[in-house]
Structure 1
Amino acid sequence: MRACLLLLLALIVSPATAQELRGHGGPVRALAAAPDGRMALSGSFDTSAILWDLERGLALAVLRGHDSSVNAALALPDGRFVTGGEDGRVLLWRPGRAEPEGRIEGHTGPVAGLALSPDGRLLASASWDGTVRVTPLGGGEARVLSGHRGPVNAVAFTPDGAAIVSGGHDAALRITPLAGGTARSIDLGLPVAGLAVAPDGEILAGGADGRLRFLAPDGTRRGEVAAAETPIVAVALSPDGRRVAAAGIRGSVALVDRASRTVERVLVGPGLPVWSLAFRPGTDELMTGGGDRLVRRWLASTGEHLGAVVMARPSDRLAGLADHPGAEVFRACSACHTLGPDDGNRAGPTLHGVIGRRIATAPGYDYSPALRGMDIVWTKETIARLFEIGPNAYTPGTKMPEQQVTDPDDLKALVDFIAKATGAE
């Protein structure tokens, strides 16, 4: 029943907003477009993935299977999609089904990147546990590739499927042969967060210094381009391999001509972080997902935004109390929680009326089973305790992201703000 309700809610999308795909309650961390260009999947900090009909601009289904942020997405040739999450899980989804068709376990840290081998048989997953796992989709034991000294952010196969390319926090780009042999490690000097491999084997790596680096298939450096003034957090290659998109953390996306190593144009949205990119096969379209909780659509050849670029409007409650000292502290919470009586739930329940409310009783929200049995009533004191020691310690079993407010003044300001904004004062 819950899946049916989610599907019904997702289908209520006006055609007028078809060029901006709205539905997530948190930043859009992952994007993948189906090979035929008809559907796409987005993953979010709100723990959900949304399956989109790109022709009509409609949400087809809201998929929930991860306990925390969905960080990576991948489309398979047979129509299925794959998601990787903060919870270390990799889930396989078939359109038309509300539950995952398959689960790949094994990572002990967040999954940050996914890649499919050219023959479609192997799935590679990069994790902050410091490993890349290569799993046969047809069944069988996964192969674990180690060597990075820290979190691995991105992964790709070489065009012949003979090797894995991975990049991580340790500033290393590693090329690991799958048939045996010694892996090659190239020190790029700064963390690598975005990675792609072109059809001719050229490697494209986005660095924390905002530069897009070009390397030969053997790792030899060929050149670099200043693509952003801030760290590059996502890289995508156009289906024809001619153009590279590189997203900077402040919200700009550089479109780079690969042959000439020049920036063709820069897409400028609302000034919020762009966390994910995907070219739509068979079209000239580039999709971007960011901190404004939207999937935006652009014409890559002209830089034209499909639909007006509008700054995401803060909630009336947040805007009306913008001068309150706790408003800035609360902004980290606003991706998951609303404040007003008519704003509804997001990834977390609405906070309207939270003071005096028993835990796990906000209408219409599906709470973690562990929370339903707790004997907590939300007051200014209990909310302060939640942020003082952290959700995992105060409410074990919660899906709430772990966060603490350690500064006493900030903590008091946050609690006072929540009380005032939610109607308690």
Structure 2
Amino acid sequence: MTTPRRLRACPRRLRAWRLALPVTALLALPARAEAPMRGHGGPVRALAAAPDGLTALSGSFDQSAILWAIEDGTALRVLRPDDGAVNAVALAPGGRMLTGGEDGRVALWSRDRPEPETLPAGHQGPVVGLALSPDGSRVASASWDGTARVTPLGGGAARVHEGHRGNVNGVAFLPDGRLVTAGYDGTLRIWAGDDPPRTIALEAPLNAVAAAADGEIVAAGADGVVHLLAPDGRPRAAVALPPSPVVALALSPDGRRIAAATIAGAVALIDRAQARVLFHLAGPGLPVWSLAFRSDAELLTGGGDRLVRRWDLATGEPIGPLALTRPPDPLAAFAGDRGAEVFRACAACHALTPDAGNRAGPTLHGVFGRPIATAPGYAFSPALKRLAIVWNAETIAALFEVGPARYTPGTRMPEQTIAAAADREALVRFLERATRPAP
């Protein structure tokens, strides 16, 4: 067990279960002052905090978003978009909420309607980032279809920004209304009306971007470097947080500090003016996927432990009693098994046992001999339900030989292949043992 601590500046630097509790149970949860916000059944992928600091909205790989009362940690409302993980959230004026997710849609929710309005964003791939314009009238969405789109909340067609070679992972608005996009192609692009964008090539794929009230741009990505750039894109400074990729950024309300989260689980607090690390927040060693400042004095984090945590930025300590225990390793019993090691890349999305339930993907318990798209309790896409595949040693091996996109068109499974035939065979043999129902 690791005790949370404040670390002085130093050189070191997935999808999940459906929500286990029904809405009524979540709303009935007792107040837990100064406790983590519990309720998601999977990693917390996105966070946004209201300007008044009273509420926060979180999105999760468990295919839900939750509106929280921050102070007592209770769930005020649970939102369920049509399909897939909720990768991005934003809070709009008038108590409205925005969600963007795996299905490529951006949804606008109001306080008095149970069902959302689907905005005409029209993405052909997962939405992974949202940003509200300075006047609150438009939302920008970043998508793995290679585009960013700006959609009026009051109605009207979306403006499409194309040009990135690959995933667009982040969007932000500058104070003057220009749009900034960050891409997996390692470029930052600044868009003004119909003019061609200004393109700034950085050294690694970019995962996140934010913009300060004075127009300075903050971007970071796979190399663990936080870049600070002028409003016209000219580099000003860089802060290195290697070796872990930075996956989320947030700016304090006063703009003086940057929070940068890494996939290794650490969060760096950076003095923006001086471009130096002030200290690190040390969590349980699990990925931190999302950040939001509640105020200049408090930070919210969400990550692989399925919790929304609160941090006192005056001390660098967690607020409330936080048990930072790492969840048990479901593969510990298979130490030394090559197939189990290959399966580790799948463990964030698929459980092996019946009691673990469905995650972002269905449980694999009893998968051998099961027709595709028939695991109980999981919402499969219509495209998968039309396929005539029965899972066995041959079909599972073929899935990873050619890749999910080719073998199971219409799947939401991340694209991945296993090049070595020996590794594919080891994975299949492991799954035969680990998913076999008890006699």
Which of these residues, 384, 393, 413, is aligned with residue 426 of structure 2? 413
Quote the Cα distance in structure 2 between the aligned partners of 1:238 and 1:262. 15
Aligned to 2:331: 318
Q: Percent identity?
A: 60
Q: Please state whether the residue corresponding to 1:275 is helix, strand or coil.
A: strand
Quote the Cα distance in structure 2 between the aligned partners of 1:390 and 1:148. 24
Q: Please state whether the residue corresponding to 2:336 is helix, strand or coil.
A: coil
Aligned to 1:226: 240
Range that drifts further, 377-386 or 126-135: 377-386
Runs of 4+ in 1 over 6 A off after TM superposition: 2-5
Q: Compute the displacement of 1:124 (Å).
A: 1.5
Could you list the per-position Cα deviations for residues 197-254 of structure 1 after superposition, in whole angstroms to 9, with x for gaps in the alignment?
Answer: 1112222222443222222223333322224433322210011212110122322111
Superposition RMSD on alpha carbons, in Å? 3.2
Range that drifts further, 374-383 or 401-410: 374-383
Quote the Cα distance in structure 1 between the aligned partners of 2:370 and 2:145. 38
Aligned to 1:37: 53
- Aligned ranges 1:311-350 → 2 under 5 Å: 311-314=325-328, 317-350=330-363
Aligned to 1:268: 282
Aligned to 2:7: none
Could you list the per-position Cα deviations for residues 306-347 of structure 1 after superposition, in whole angstroms to 9, with x for gaps in the alignment?
Answer: 3335243135x5332233322222223222322234223333
Q: Please state whether the residue corresponding to 1:56 is helix, strand or coil.
A: coil
Q: Compute the displacement of 1:266 (Å).
A: 0.6
1:323–1:261 CA distance, 2 compared to 1 (3 A): same
Quote the Cα distance in structure 1 between the aligned partners of 2:163 and 2:349. 36
Q: Compute the displacement of 1:256 (Å).
A: 1.0
1:188–1:382 CA distance, 2 compared to 1 (3 A): closer
What are the ranges of 5 or more consecutive residues in structure 2 without an aligned counterpart? Answer: 1-17
1:94–1:3 CA distance, 2 compared to 1 (3 A): farther
Aligned to 2:188: 173
- Aligned ranges 1:148-297 → 2 under 5 Å: 148-161=164-177, 163-178=178-193, 183-281=197-295, 284-297=297-310
Q: Compute the displacement of 1:181 (Å).
A: 5.3
Q: Which amino acid aligns with 2:223?
A: D
Q: Compute the displacement of 1:277 (Å).
A: 1.2
Q: Please state whether the residue corresponding to 2:422 is helix, strand or coil.
A: helix
1:410–1:183 CA distance, 2 compared to 1 (3 A): closer
Q: Compute the displacement of 1:16 (Å).
A: 6.0
Q: Please state whether the residue corresponding to 1:21 is helix, strand or coil.
A: coil
Aligned length: 420
Q: Compute the displacement of 1:60 (Å).
A: 4.2
Aligned to 2:160: 144
Aligned to 1:113: 129
1:382–1:109 CA distance, 2 compared to 1 (3 A): closer
What are the ranges of 5 or more consecutive residues in structure 1 without an aligned counterpart? Answer: none
The TM-score with structure 1 as length reference comes to 0.85
Q: Please state whether the residue corresponding to 1:326 is helix, strand or coil.
A: helix
Q: Which amino acid aligns with 1:169?
A: Y
Q: Compute the displacement of 1:80 (Å).
A: 1.8
- Are the aligned partners of 1:70 and 1:84 in contact in 2 as well (CA < 8 Å)? yes
- Are the aligned partners of 1:236 and 1:244 in contact in 2 as well (CA < 8 Å)? yes
Quote the Cα distance in structure 2 between the aligned partners of 1:148 and 1:396. 24
1:212–1:401 CA distance, 2 compared to 1 (3 A): closer
Which of these residues, 78, 84, 90, is aligned with residue 94 of structure 2? 78
